[in-house]
Structure 1
Amino acid sequence: MRSRPILAISAAALTVALAGCTAASATSNSSAASTASGAEAEAADTSLTDVQDAGVLIVGTEGTYRPFTYHEDGSGDLTGYDVEVIKAVADQLGVEVQFEETQWDAIFAGLDAGRFDVIANQVSITPEREQKYEFSEPYTYSTGVVVVADTNTDITSVESLAGKRTAQSLTSNWYTMAEEAGAEIEPVEGWAQAVALVRDGRVDATVNDLLTYLDYAQQGDNQGLRIAVQTDDVSRSAFAFAQGSDALVAAIDQALADLQADGTLESLSRQFFGADVSVAPAL
């Protein structure tokens, strides 16, 4: 007679226990979901809002790399193509700009450490850098060029450098290009020495970057020289950011698009290079 009530009580107790376990499991799952949500919130991209809240975009740059980032003679003010472009971008974002001048060898370490929001220093986009950093849309495009004396009509392509003498810095990628084309290399320390040899007729040509030649021409120093060949290899330079800066990158990309549309980028390009280097060349 007592066994049935005892079973009933046990069943009831079991039901309550199971219900308690289910509730505890639900609570545990809810707590885990809440914790995950909190972790996601902590990991949220605040790169743009941080800049907006601070009212300033902190920019890493060298300040010693003419014509991209350097100090004007006389006034000492920081200027250059990259400097003026990032200033225009900051205006589009509605914030001030603060430059942190850093040697090139330490500039990426500064970005990694959070010392600045972005690097503006003619940073070339490479596969290796893209694995570690984020980049804006390019604001500078360049190619290689073969520079010869005005009177030289023999060199019409990279291939025609075969058997010719070219002046090259031994540590540059342009040395490799000239060597692979079959040129005989005259080692030099840099651009100024190379073009002096070309002008004097001691070598047939020098291979270098288009931007280097344009800056040289902008100073009025290219008399007696001309570009004989423009290579098919196009380099792209952009602003560099730490990983996780998607929101800031998107905002700066939009600012660059607006500056391209209103002619600001072209104007700055022509100011520093005498040509529009803000668009990809038509090869």
Structure 2
Amino acid sequence: MNWLKTLATAAVVQAALMTPVVAGENLDAIKAAGVLKIGTEGTYAPFTYHDAADKLVGFDVEIGAAVAEKLGVKAEYLEGKWDGLIAGLDANRYDVVVNQVGITDARKQKYDFSEPYIASKAVLIVKSDDDAIKTFADLKGKKSAQSLTSNFGKLAQESGAELVGTDGFDQSIQLVLTGRADATINDSLSFLDFKKKKPDAPVKIAAEQENADYSGIIFRKGDAELKAAIDKALADIKADGTYDKISQKYFGADVSK
């Protein structure tokens, strides 16, 4: 019967290998190390980038540091290219990624997310003195500056606009400012960032989509205690005004909703 015992032992070992992370294991390790290791790009302003002194700064950098402080540890940043950033979680290179990572069903199949801490919407941007375009429907027959393959471009086309192709937000805004396009549909966060840097630029939001896309802090599945701790840290920095201070610094508005 030794072969039965051997099979039973093998089954126990296999089951142990397949057992998910023990609750609190990752959180305990983070607290024991005194460090929250954070994966981020470092090339994605205004969320995570290097300033003139080559210091890593940005909205997400400060949010990550504030969350780490609430956990009672220090933030340590590890930079990487976007293409492999989330995969770095699988390799245990860091504990979390804080990099405006969109919360999607596909990603939720493999990873856990915090509660959302960034909301972005599609907004319709026109010149400040343009009172003719007030809704997306008003784009019919108008020229809209868009990246042709983007979702924003598709929305403009569905609204009846004639598309003027661009390389991205900066070029789209310039075409609107110079009158070569009547409008652009773009991301609300990009617009807020632009207006924060150039408050006198004569452009405004004429309309916005009701539904928002949300971003969260992403980490490996299987540790409900870590998720609860990160969610509480985010709630705490919102309650004590830290979040609003950081949000106002980079966007001049609350970007959580």
Which TM-score applies when normalising by structure 1? 0.83
1:64-113 deviation per Cα after TM superposition (whole angstroms, max 9, x unaligned): 0000001111x211110011001001011111111110000010111111
Give the aligned partner of residue 50 of structure 1.
29
The Cα of 1:171 is off from its aligned counterpart by 2.6
Alignment partner for residue 88 of structure 1, among 57, 62, 66?
66
Deviation (angstroms), 1:41 = 7.9
Of the three residues 222, 226, 231, the one matched with 2:204 is 226
What does residue 150 of structure 1 align with? 128
User: CA 1:90/1:162 → structure 2, altered by over 3 Å: closer, same or farther?
Assistant: same
- Partner in structure 2 of residue 131 of structure 1: 109
Which runs of 4 or more aligned residues in structure 1 lie more than 6 Å from their structure 2 counterparts after TM superposition?
A: none
Any conservation in 2 of the 1:169–1:175 contact (CA below 8 Å)?
yes
Partner Cα separation in structure 2 for residue 208 and residue 245 of structure 1: 36
1:211 is paired with a residue of what secondary structure?
A: helix
Partners of 1:132 and 1:41 in 2: CA distance:
15
User: Which residue identity does 2:97 align to in structure 1?
Assistant: I
From 191, 195, 216, the counterpart of 1:213: 191
> Quick one: which of 220, 227, 246 aligns to 1:242?
220
Aligned twin of 1:15: none
Query: For residues 233-272 of structure 1, what are the alpha-carbon distances to aligned partners after superposition, in whole Å with 9 as ceiling and x for unaligned?
Result: 2011110011113221110101111111111111110010
Name stretches of at least 5 consecutive residues in structure 2 with no aligned partner: none
TM-score, normalised via structure 2 length: 0.91
Alignment identity in percent? 45
SS of corresponding position for 1:233:
coil
For 1:184, which of 154, 162, 165 is the aligned residue? 162
Matches within 5 A, 1:107-118: 107-118=85-96
Counterpart of 1:122 in structure 2 is 100
- 2:82 & 2:225 partners in 1: Cα distance? 26
Q: How many residues align structurally?
A: 249
Corresponding residue for 1:18?
Answer: none
**Conserved 8 A contact 1:168-1:207:** yes
> SS at 1:111's partner residue?
helix
Give the deviation of 1:180 after TM superposition.
Answer: 1.1
Determine helix, strand or coil for the equivalent of 2:209: strand
Please give the alpha-carbon distance, in whole angstroms, between the structure 2 residues aligned to 1:138 and 1:246. Answer: 16
Higher Rg of the two aligned structures: 1
Q: Which residue of 1 aligns with 2:181?
A: 203
2:38 corresponding residue in structure 1: 59
The one-letter code of the counterpart of 2:74 is E
One-letter amino acid of the structure 1 residue matched with residue 68 of structure 2: A
Distance, in Å, in 2 between the alignment partners of 1:270 and 1:43 is: 38
